[in-house]
Amino acid sequence: MTSPGTLALATRGLRKSYGKRLALDGLDLSVPEGVVYGFLGPNGAGKTTTMRLLTGLLHPDSGSIELLGRPFRRGDRQRLFEVGALVENPSFYPYLSGRANLGVLAQSGATVPKGRIEELLELVGLRERAKDKLSGYSLGMKQRLGIAGALLSDPKLLLLDEPANGLDPAGIVAMREMLRRLAAMGKTVFVSSHLLAEVRVLADVVGIIAAGRLVREGPLDSLLGDQGLVRVRVARSEAGAARAVLERIAPTDADGDPADPEPWLSVHVEPNRAGAVNRALAEAGIYASGLESGTDLELLFLQLTGGGAPSSEGTFGAAGVTAGVAPSQATGGNAATKDGQG
C-alpha cells in the first residue's frame, strides 16, 4: 500500500448495497498521485459502483472517500471540479453535434477555459466530425467524445470506466499514449477495466476487486514479480512421476480437473525457465503434450478473484480459469492457448 499523504484518491471501508445485495464490502483503495491506476475486477465485482460513488452519483452506506487529499462527502460536489470522469457509457444528446454536446457539458460544473473544446476535439481526433450529429457517431467516436468530456476542466484526477470500449486498435494505442502523457504531467488516471492486457501495458499500479472487496493492490511489477509460472500438460498415468520431477525444480501444483486424461501441472518458476522444465521431463522419459508460460496478470487476477468471473462479455470464459496465458503475454517457452483466450 502507498503511504497516505501522496494519495490522489483514497477510500476507507466503503460499503454500498442495493437492497439486500451487497455491492461493496469495505473497499479500501489507495491511489497515489501521478500514476495510471488499473482498477480490475470481474463483472459484478463492484467496479462501476465504485466509480459511481467516486463521482457522487451514489451515496455510500458507510465508509469514506478522499479526493485529492480532501474528504468527499454528500454535498461536497465542488470537489469534483478537479475530477474528470467517464462513467459507464458515454452519454450525450443524440441530436446535437459532438462540438455542441461538449459545449452543453461545459456549462455544468467547473468552468471550462475558452478554446478548450477545440483543443480536446483535436486531441481525441474528432475535429473533422465535430459538426456531425452524435447519432451518426460510432461507438468508438462516442467513447472519444466521452474522454474529451472527462478532460474538459483539465482535471487533476481522471476517472475512466472501461475507456477502451469500442475503440479500434489505433484508438486504443492513442488513448493509452494520451493517458500515459497525462500521468507524466502529474495527473492521476484511474482506469476501471476488465481488459487485463490493456491494464498490463497501461497501469503503474493495480487494484483488484472481487465481490466488493479489494483483494490486492500495489505496483504492477511488484504484484507480478512472484507470478512467474510454467504449466505443463502430461498424461494422467505419468502425472505423479512428472510432479516428482518438477518438484525438484520448484513447487508444483496439480491444476484443473484431476479426472482429466491429460492434467496440467503448474511449476512456480520464472517463465524463461520453461525450457529447463521441458528438458527435465524429457530426461525422465516424460513428454509434455502442452506447455505454456508467462508472467501473467490474468493468472493473478484469476487466482485472486477465484476465477469465477461471469463470461457474459466473453473475456473470462471457463477455459480461461485453467489455461491462463494469452499468446501476447507469454514471455517464454511455448504458449499453448485455448479457445476464448488471447
Interface positions with other proteins (CB under 8 A)? 52, 55-59, 77-81, 83, 85, 87-89, 91-96, 100, 103-105, 107-110, 149, 152-153
Dist. CA 231–CA 14, nearest whole Å: 38
| Residue count (the chain) | 342
CB of 102 to other proteins, least distance (A): 11
CB of 313 to other proteins, least distance (A): 19
Q: Which amino acid makes up residue 142?
A: K
CB of 104 to other proteins, least distance (A): 5
Q: Which residues pair with 30 in a beta bridge?
A: 10
Q: Which is nearer to other proteins, 103 or 256 (CB)?
A: 103
CB of 204 to other proteins, least distance (A): 24
Measured CA distances, 77 to 3, 16, 70 (Å): 26, 19, 12
CB of 120 to other proteins, least distance (A): 14
Dist. CA 10–CA 35, nearest whole Å: 14
**Residue 207: which H helix or E strand, with range?**
strand 205-210
CB of 60 to other proteins, least distance (A): 11
Going across the sheet that includes 252-255, the strands are 252-255, 264-267, 228-233, 290-295
Dist. CA 16–CA 105, nearest whole Å: 28
Dist. CA 9–CA 66, nearest whole Å: 6
Where do we find the cell 503448474? 266
Q: Which is nearer to other proteins, 56 or 324 (CB)?
A: 56
Q: Which is nearer to other proteins, 38 or 56 (CB)?
A: 56
CB of 202 to other proteins, least distance (A): 22
Q: Which is nearer to other proteins, 93 or 287 (CB)?
A: 93
CB of 238 to other proteins, least distance (A): 53
Dist. CA 95–CA 135, nearest whole Å: 6
Dist. CA 213–CA 45, nearest whole Å: 8
Where do we find the cell 492486457? 197
Q: Which is nearer to other proteins, 158 or 206 (CB)?
A: 158
Angle between helix axes 98-106 and 139-150 (nearest 10 degrees) is 30
Q: Which is nearer to other proteins, 129 or 142 (CB)?
A: 142
Strands 228-233 and 264-267: antiparallel
At 218, list the grid cell: 500495489
Q: Which is nearer to other proteins, 57 or 184 (CB)?
A: 57
Where do we find the cell 501444483? 253
Q: Which is nearer to other proteins, 107 or 312 (CB)?
A: 107
Q: Which residues pair with 292 in a beta bridge?
A: 231
